[in-house]
Structure 1
Amino acid sequence: MPPSSSRSIAVIGGGLSGLVLARILQQHDIDCTVYELDATADARRQGGLLDLHVESGQLALREAGLYEQFRGLTRPQAEAMRVMDKAGTVFIDQAAPESSGAGGRPEIDRTELRGLLLDSLDPGRVVWDHKLRSAARLDDGRYALDFANGSRRTADLLVGADGAWSRVRPLLSNASPTYTGVSSVEFHVIDAPTTVPASAALVGTGSLFALSDNKNLGGHGGRDLHLGVMLRTAEDWLDTRGVDWSSDAAAARAVLLAELADWTPALTDLIRHCDDEMVPRRIYALPTDHSWPHTPGATLVGDAAHLMSPFAGEGANAAMLDGCELALALIEHGDDVEAALREYETAMFPRSSDASRRSARGLDLCFADDSPRGLVEFFGRVGAGGVN
């Protein structure tokens, strides 16, 4: 492989893991190019709030030189949490800290976090409207990249940061994501204290877990609510409701309200008064022990490497730590890229396996016939900060 001064590095995907990787490499004068499928930075919603952990997400931002800017964007009130059942009975009511001091798991809007990373990169570092169609290893060890817009590139080092349905992953692994048994419909309630004051008060300012009968109405509170109805159900449930989720909000609300027919109106009013934009999702995961044999000149980060359910708050944190640890390994080993990849993967495989197993357990705690009992008992053992 060429020396670091002339080596081309292609990062496929402009999510958190790819951007952290690019930022830390840039800090050390190592060039890379991030290829992102979106046409622009604001082409689609980036999701709700994230809680960043000291040992992973926050560590990555420290290495990226962005920690103080991150602290200025956090939302202390969002660190509150409530766990309740379908009747609105509150079992856990954790107050937000008085201030967002050092440590803890401060919350930040995913869009603002991504914007912080994007703004920290040199112009041209991210190339937009480049959806990878295929990648192949050439005889000389480089990788040929074919993009949907017709452009072609080559790279000496290829990093798949392209999410659940990664086009890079098949070069390293035969694994594919499988359905976890949970589907969701996400929605927003804008200015909730004005539109649904009673419901907004019940939700609170932080994380909400309203759990009963293998169902969850949950997400994040505050003025504008980012929520979802999640169900343990068949993989084809979203397709068999007879609803165009993207354009028929009235029909979508009717389906969700029918699923939660015996839930308190204080919770279901959130559905009645939500925005018309609804996003259906099936939750998939890779095997909890996913790994691959060392592949010269290529590796994976983030969901491409260890897609997991969101019910332990680990996915984004693990992804950011991936980008950080891969960057530091590349910096440390200089021209010995293969040593860097081995060091990164050797540490990442057991770490991501542990996070994936905890995420799978978190899903089972939330979706059970007798929920929220299991989650309440879990928090009673480890404290309310154990899962978020």
Structure 2
Amino acid sequence: MSAPQPIVIIGAGPSGLLLAKYLEQNEIPVVIYEGDPHANHRPQGGSLDLHDDTGLLALRQTYLLDEASKMMRAEGEAMKVVDKTGKIWLDENVPEEEQQVDTKRVDVGEIRGRPEIDRTDLRNLLIKSLSPKTIQWDHKITSVTALSTSLYEIRFIDKPTITTPYLIGADGAFSLVRPLLHDIKPDYSGCSMYELEILPSNLTSSLETYIGKGALMILDEGKALMPQMNSGKKCKIYLALKVPFNWQKENPLPEKGKREWLVNLFEGWLPQAKEIIMASEETSINQRKIYQFDPELTWNTDKTGVTVMGDAAHVMSPFAGEGVNQALADALLLGQTLVPLFRPKLELGKSSSPPFPLSFFPISQPTERPTPLVEPSTDDLHEALREFEIKMMKRAKVEMEGSKENMDMFFGDEPARHLAGMLKFYGRIGYLMEMLTWPIEKVKGLFR
């Protein structure tokens, strides 16, 4: 077999970057095409919590967890839930002895819980882990076309056209790669958002104390005001509304007085709502709609050598904190799918010097050596990618359903009470599950 062309990944988001890292550490050629001119062209959003069986696992498998842990903030997990009157339904920032639910963590020598990391820090870590020329910046795609069932053409603005038999779409909710597989588009979720930012210089001590160390959720009347602390005392604010698709277009932000306009949406709410919005930067306000796929989404295709992952495969609302975690899990799974195809193992053979006493007998011993890089067969590649998609969507379905249910709760009746109750319940379950992993002496210590 001939050596294969590089695997082409479209999009330098978390999933595309982590897949490239996994392939590189297995010495499989890969290239990422990204439309942004450089890594810092656009803000990457606030912080996210990494989950043990998805995001943290993916970082562990790519040998990046130790470096990532230096950027993580355990205190960023703290949640505070308030309604429009200012009633506090949950506050994990207060001393543990004052908590209604015991949420204390015990250090058993490894990362526990769901530590927070800034999206920008995570992305920069992934970028720096790659070879310098792996990411081709400033490659804005105009079209992706199937020349056959196993060869794809990618056209860029003012860049040479390329063709590839190996194409991975990590290009987000409005993926240009996905139509090669199916023509289903994500639906508007019913939620539109505004994103704001408070700079450290504008974050007063009283406001910082009120928000807490992690995220503050102020929920009521089909609206959510959600400030979230990031590293360096920056604070991202997410303002979410349950509104029709065209609402933001029909109610545009004014040229001047954007913050005052947003404050009016929360008239009659607790005074801190106005304080939070007015502390933000007038020029940092962005707006967007939230899209989601039906959790039952599946597809089949005759195309070979092409697939999608992350938001391109299963975009969901952000109300379960699973988007990036699922994307990283997708990338790890896809890497584990591709590596054996491009670098298969030799069959068992005779060992030249098996260990004593087996060296006295002429028997076969397992020897595992990587073969040279090979081009996988069309049939093997097709079967492997379809199996990957089935596993990916089966896993993502659970989180897509959970995200949708959480969004309905955020915009339903008494959302603060319901969210606090859910967090307290899962706090109890999480604490009990964590106890199962403790050494017996730690468990006994609880009853002394």
- TM-score, normalised to structure 1's length? 0.93
Aligned residues: 379
Deviation, 1:7, is: 2.8
Match of 2:146 in 1: 137
Match of 1:278 in 2: 285
Larger displacement relative to structure 2 (113-122 or 94-103): 94-103
Deviation, 1:13, is: 0.4
Match of 2:415 in 1: 371
Q: Does 1:205 align with 2:213?
A: yes
1:74-89 to 2 correspondences below 5 Å:
74-89=72-87
On the 8 A contact 1:76/1:97 being kept in 2, the answer is no
Match of 1:330 in 2: 338
- Paired with 1:175 and 1:30, the residues of 2 have a C-alpha distance of 32
- Paired with 1:242 and 1:364, the residues of 2 have a C-alpha distance of 25
1:94-243 to 2 correspondences below 5 Å:
94-95=92-93, 101-139=110-148, 141-191=150-200, 195-221=203-229, 223-243=233-253
1:105 to 1:350, Cα distance in 2 relative to 1, 3 A: same
- Paired with 1:58 and 1:101, the residues of 2 have a C-alpha distance of 11
Give the AA of the match of 2:120.
T
RMSD value over aligned CA atoms? Answer: 2.0
Give the AA of the match of 1:317.
N
- Paired with 2:421 and 2:228, the residues of 1 have a C-alpha distance of 22
- Rg: which structure is higher? 2
Give the AA of the match of 1:272.
M
On the 8 A contact 1:81/1:208 being kept in 2, the answer is yes
Q: Secondary structure at the match of 1:372?
A: helix
1:172 to 1:139, Cα distance in 2 relative to 1, 3 A: closer
Match of 1:306 in 2: 314
On the 8 A contact 1:79/1:97 being kept in 2, the answer is no
5+ residue gaps in structure 1? none
Give the AA of the match of 2:334.
L
Q: Secondary structure at the match of 1:50?
A: strand
Deviation, 1:365, is: 1.2
Match of 1:71 among 57, 69, 72: 69
On the 8 A contact 1:158/1:297 being kept in 2, the answer is yes
- Paired with 1:153 and 1:348, the residues of 2 have a C-alpha distance of 28
On the 8 A contact 2:48/2:117 being kept in 1, the answer is yes
- TM-score, normalised to structure 2's length? 0.81
Give the AA of the match of 2:270.
T
Q: Secondary structure at the match of 1:135?
A: strand
- Paired with 1:24 and 1:182, the residues of 2 have a C-alpha distance of 35
Q: Secondary structure at the match of 2:155?
A: strand
Match of 1:267 among 269, 273, 278: 273
On the 8 A contact 1:40/1:128 being kept in 2, the answer is yes
Deviation, 1:385, is: 8.6
On the 8 A contact 1:198/1:266 being kept in 2, the answer is no
5+ residue gaps in structure 2? 94-103, 343-375, 431-448
Match of 1:254 in 2: 260
On the 8 A contact 2:81/2:217 being kept in 1, the answer is yes
Deviation, 1:101, is: 4.7
